[in-house]
Structure 1
């Protein structure tokens, strides 16, 4: 009925610290994989979190294993919940929020609806989900899996993956990818700020990016 594996090794703190200054949309300028679909959205505005993925798969109207998993979470964990296709039942509400925050978890991500938005806001606990719902799960004791490969937002998530989530979306990275991708993203963010400063001083965006040269080459007799 239940598959429960060991809690994953946390992502190195230095890697998470580097990733914490990265915007998901910056990575989206060149990296193609690991982005959950945009139906999974933040319930609280203006938040960016990084952490270690703890993965959970629970079926339909049953959240028994979610309640158990909440007691196993550690500081820095992000609980990522695969609802196995169910979009009707809200498995995560105020009680789970309080338990997850008390354990030190930094966020929850649910491939389905949540409930009790006011309590989530009062707890100041960042959540990403497919909106809100009033029909909740129960303790039916059907089964589920903890810390096994799951799918959330169309993305495969492994226990111990690094997770970056902000207002633009959720990005899942394998542990070995974090430092390289974060370093490149920070370089691009720095270059972007310099370009923005130049535009404010009168430079043309298309000139700086090369877009205008491409357009002019076409309209001035370039290849069609």
Structure 2
């Protein structure tokens, strides 16, 4: 997995997923928001990291058994391959009656320095999961284990999580609005535009708070574009 430059993490930590979806839409990418993945806590901070993908398929009785957990090719094996700083993206096909991951697995991920877990499935052992401190985005919770509804397949393959294609090394940004995928090849291009868009919208908000009307401001007409440019120049001079 390609290491992610700290400057990119720092930059995107200040950019909302809402802004990112707008920037990606302008690039022609409409399907980047992972459906069904929401933070387990209402005060969860934004996270940024490379995707480490994990794939499940529907349960098959000869393969989806408790004994399969001891296999080298298992969820346990996948965790030991996760590098520090990655975000585990688990394709659970949206299954909601089998907990894809539990507290012990999350505790091990936290110990390895994994940044977060994102899944279109659900978690089990929810109290314990929350206790690990690992940031998690999921569709909720269910008591049954993964093998009740899912068969583990492999890691670091392309997956379809929440209806979105996610490839290993894609960038994941997740906040209170959910999780967004930035294709690895577009990261450098997206970062600068996203930071500028976030700065611009911050200025718009300040204008709105000062009593400005929206027509001509959002989106801006030529007068307000010039006003924003003057604001930027003044900020640079300080």
Is this a same-fold pair by TM over 0.5? yes
Q: Which ranges of structure 1 fall in alignment gaps of 5 or more residues? A: 1-7, 213-224
1:184 and 2:193 are equivalent in the alignment: yes
Please give the root-mean-square deviation of Cα atoms over the aligned residues, in Å: 2.5
How many Å apart are 1:84 and its aligned residue? 4.3
What's the CA shift string for 1:33-68, capped at 9, x where partnerless? Answer: 352344221112232111111111123454731111
What's the CA shift string for 1:174-217, capped at 9, x where partnerless? Answer: 222112212111111111111111122221123412599xxxxx
Between 1:142-151 and 1:11-20, the stretch displaced more is 11-20
What is the total number of aligned residue pairs between the two structures? 205
Q: Would you say the 8 A contact 1:35–1:169 is kept in 2? A: no
How many Å apart are 1:169 and its aligned residue? 1.4
Secondary structure class of the residue paired with 2:22: coil
The 1:25/1:143 distance shift into structure 2, 3 A limit, reads closer
Distance 2:213 2:23 in 1: 23
Distance 2:53 2:130 in 1: 23
Distance 2:47 2:120 in 1: 17
Distance 1:117 1:160 in 2: 28
Alignment of 1:47-58 (within 5 A): 47-58=45-56
What's the CA shift string for 1:72-96, capped at 9, x where partnerless? Answer: 2221011111124633210211111
Which residue of structure 1 aligns with residue 41 of structure 2?
44
Which residue of structure 2 aligns with residue 202 of structure 1?
211
Q: Would you say the 8 A contact 1:10–1:160 is kept in 2? A: no
Secondary structure class of the residue paired with 2:48: strand
Between 1:78-87 and 1:186-195, the stretch displaced more is 78-87
Which residue of structure 2 aligns with residue 131 of structure 1?
140
Q: Which ranges of structure 2 fall in alignment gaps of 5 or more residues? A: 222-238
Match of 2:184 among 171, 175, 178: 175
1:18 and 2:5 are equivalent in the alignment: no
Q: Would you say the 8 A contact 2:38–2:139 is kept in 1? A: yes
What's the CA shift string for 1:110-133, capped at 9, x where partnerless? Answer: 221112222222222110111111
Secondary structure class of the residue paired with 2:217: helix
Distance 1:159 1:37 in 2: 15
Q: What TM-score does the superposition give when structure 2 sets the normalisation length?
A: 0.77
Q: What TM-score does the superposition give when structure 1 sets the normalisation length?
A: 0.81
The 1:159/1:211 distance shift into structure 2, 3 A limit, reads closer
Alignment of 1:62-73 (within 5 A): 62=64, 64=69, 65-73=74-82
